[in-house]
């Protein structure tokens, strides 16, 4: 195995001469053995900027975490060197060393972790991620061009993505602490729409709300949300369509909550929750908490029961084939609960679909996570509580020797209840709307219309983060 010095020398030999973009605050860093990237947060500016982006020097960027180290098979505890290949022709004063220190270029600079002998590089310079689509020096709140970060007072909060992480097979040591919470409601969004000239049609909303004519569930005014569902069933499988429609409804929000957080590893994220008044009403009136809600027993009862059993044999059978194929291709978050050969029906067995919801869901304002997927589209995922599940099951019918039918859970699809926006234009429009709402909220331009004034209006977010970080260190 090469020594650390040999590895550095070899790496320096192949690096290009100093040129290209200087690394700045909010650059994205990558470790060759880490399971995730990390955003570089510059704790104090050195007074050198490219546009509105503060440059780093070779001493910066060491307080990072890359998830899980595949080299050491343990959570990342990086110990990083100074940046190698720094640009000695571009110097800035560093108050920590009381010396002039060189800047770092993205295409030539790198650090070395002394624990895993790993190379750490910048994959973005920070010169674009930190710029809003239309920059104004007065705007201290904005959403980055890729719709993946909300920047408040110079702190880059990554928008939390709740989709399960398949590649991580360890207990994540990261603990998250709340810095501040901003709550916005319909009044704020309507005001922002008026400012931006955004109408419901701009968010992909048209026609009537209910796609299937099922009128037992109240929904918001505004129309159908055009959405792409990750799992599809025939329209008569109402139990699935109801859950998916709840998620789709939430794009026309009544409530949105932005929870700004810092972790014990000093990473920053914002968790965004959304909900509508109709969802709150629906789940307050939901009659089947903490028990199974069955398509056959609770929906297709009476005369439709036997016809529905026959229909489900084909519908669920096809769904099982699709879901298992997607699980094998890592394109589904559903969980296979039995061996694959046990999925098919034997003798007089029959399929059913069952939903289990925890009573903790009742009286909750927020029913979905709002986030950006890998393609920068707005996405929505149902918030789940302990033991909740959406199951494909099969039953063994009763007979003279078996007085009670046996149920076998086959697949849990709860984590696949995800809605993707139909196109990037609608996503950009939504995030532009959110940016205006956050800006109005932070600047108090809407005065008394703000639902829940925040302490962030009294102190910069960077100061609030620092105060929480100091408390974390004392624990």
Strand 111-113 relative to strand 99-103, pairing = unpaired
315 and 329 inside one domain: yes
Residue 399: pLDDT above 50?
A: yes
Domain boundary, last residue among 131, 166, 198: 131
Domain boundary, last residue among 131, 151, 167: 131
Residues 378-390 pLDDT 10s:
888 888 899 998 8
Q: What angle do CA 139, 137, 155 make, to 5 degrees?
A: 55
What would the mean pLDDT of 97-126 be, rounded to a whole number?
88
21 and 120 inside one domain: yes
| Rounded-to-integer distance, Cα 323 and Cα 266, Å | 38
Mean pLDDT, rounded, of the chain: 75
| Rounded-to-integer distance, Cα 314 and Cα 308, Å | 10
Identify the pLDDT of residue 284.
80
| Rounded-to-integer distance, Cα 193 and Cα 195, Å | 5
100: containing domain: 1-131
User: Could you tell me the CA-to-CA distances from 198 to 256, 426, 428, 441, 443 in Å, in that order?
Assistant: 18, 11, 12, 18, 21
Domain boundary, last residue among 131, 151, 186: 131
Residue 350: pLDDT above 80?
A: yes
244 and 393 inside one domain: yes
Question: DSSP string of 32-62?
Answer: TTBSS-EE---SS--S-EETTEEBPBTT---
86 and 198 inside one domain: no
279 and 346 inside one domain: yes
pLDDT-above-90 percentage for the chain: 15
| Rounded-to-integer distance, Cα 47 and Cα 103, Å | 12
Residues 146-183 pLDDT 10s:
888 898 887 889 999 998 875 544 455 678 999 999 98
List the helix and strand counts (H, then E) for the chain.
7, 27
Q: Is 395 helix (H, G, I), strand (E, B) or coil?
A: strand
> Where is pLDDT greater, at 275 or 92?
92
Residue 242: pLDDT above 70?
A: no
8 and 149 inside one domain: no
| Rounded-to-integer distance, Cα 406 and Cα 413, Å | 21
120 and 183 inside one domain: no
Residues 119-149 pLDDT 10s:
899 988 887 544 444 434 345 788 888 888 8
324 and 204 inside one domain: yes
62 and 145 inside one domain: no
Kindly give, in sequence order, each residue whose CB lies less than 8 Å from that of residue 259, ignoring residues fewer than 6 positions away. Answer: 178, 181, 270, 271, 272, 273
Q: Is 82 helix (H, G, I), strand (E, B) or coil?
A: coil
Say how many domains are in the chain.
Answer: 2
347 and 430 inside one domain: yes
> Where is pLDDT greater, at 303 or 130?
303
65 and 119 inside one domain: yes
Residue 247: pLDDT above 80?
A: no
Report the range of poorest mean pLDDT among 40-44, 122-126, 189-193, 418-422.
418-422
Return the number of other C-beta atoms located less than 10 Å from residue 51's C-beta.
10
420 and 473 inside one domain: yes
Q: Is 7 helix (H, G, I), strand (E, B) or coil?
A: helix
Q: What angle do CA 365, 367, 368 make, to 5 degrees?
A: 130
């Amino acid at each position: 195995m090469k020594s650390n010095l040999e590895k550095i020398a070899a790496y320096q030999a192949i690096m290009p001469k100093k040129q290209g973009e200087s690394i700045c605050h909010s650059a994205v860093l990558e470790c060759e053995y880490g399971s995730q990237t990390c955003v570089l947060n510059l704790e104090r500016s050195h007074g050198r900027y490219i546009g509105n982006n503060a440059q780093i020097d070779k001493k910066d960027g060491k307080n990072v975490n890359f998830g899980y180290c595949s080299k050491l098979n343990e959570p990342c505890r990086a110990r990083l060197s100074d940046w190698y290949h720094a640009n000695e022709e571009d110097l800035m004063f560093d108050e920590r060393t009381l010396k002039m220190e060189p800047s770092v270029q993205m295409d030539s600079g790198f650090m070395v972790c002394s624990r895993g002998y790993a190379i750490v590089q910048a994959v973005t310079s920070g010169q674009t991620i930190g710029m809003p689509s239309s920059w104004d020096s007065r705007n201290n709140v904005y959403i980055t061009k890729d719709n993946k970060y909300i920047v408040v007072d110079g702190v880059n909060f990554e928008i939390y993505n709740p989709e399960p992480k398949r590649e991580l097979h360890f207990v994540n040591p990261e603990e998250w602490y709340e810095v501040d919470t901003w709550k916005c409601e319909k009044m704020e969004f309507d005001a922002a729409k008026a400012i931006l000239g955004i109408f419901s049609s701009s968010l992909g909303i048209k026609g009537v709300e209910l796609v299937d004519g099922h009128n037992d569930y109240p929904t918001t005014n505004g129309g159908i949300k055009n959405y792409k569902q990750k799992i599809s069933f025939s329209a008569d499988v109402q139990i699935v369509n109801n859950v998916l429609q709840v998620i789709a409804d939430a794009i026309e929000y009544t409530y949105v909550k932005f929870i700004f957080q810092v972790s014990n590893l000093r990473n920053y994220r914002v968790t965004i929750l959304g909900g509508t008044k109709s969802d709150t009403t629906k789940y307050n009136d939901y009659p089947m908490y903490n028990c199974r809600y069955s398509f056959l027993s609770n929906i297709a009862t009476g005369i439709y029961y036997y016809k529905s059993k026959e229909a489900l044999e084909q519908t669920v059978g096809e769904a099982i084939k699709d879901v298992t194929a997607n699980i094998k291709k890592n394109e589904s978050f559903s969980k296979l609960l039995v061996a694959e050969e046990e999925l098919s029906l034997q003798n007089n067995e029959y399929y059913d679909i069952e939903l289990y919801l925890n009573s903790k869901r009742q009286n909750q304002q927020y029913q979905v996570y709002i986030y950006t997927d890998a393609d920068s589209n707005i996405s929505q995922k149902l918030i789940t509580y302990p033991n909740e599940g959406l199951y494909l099951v099969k039953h063994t019918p009763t007979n003279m020797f078996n007085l009670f039918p046996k149920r076998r859970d086959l697949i849990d699809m709860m984590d696949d209840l995800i809605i993707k926006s139909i196109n990037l234009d609608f996503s950009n429009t939504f995030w532009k709307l959110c940016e205006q709402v956050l800006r109005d909220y932070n600047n108090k331009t809407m005065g008394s219309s703000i639902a829940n004034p925040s302490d962030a209006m009294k102190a910069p977010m960077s100061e609030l983060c620092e105060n929480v970080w100091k408390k974390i260190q004392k624990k």
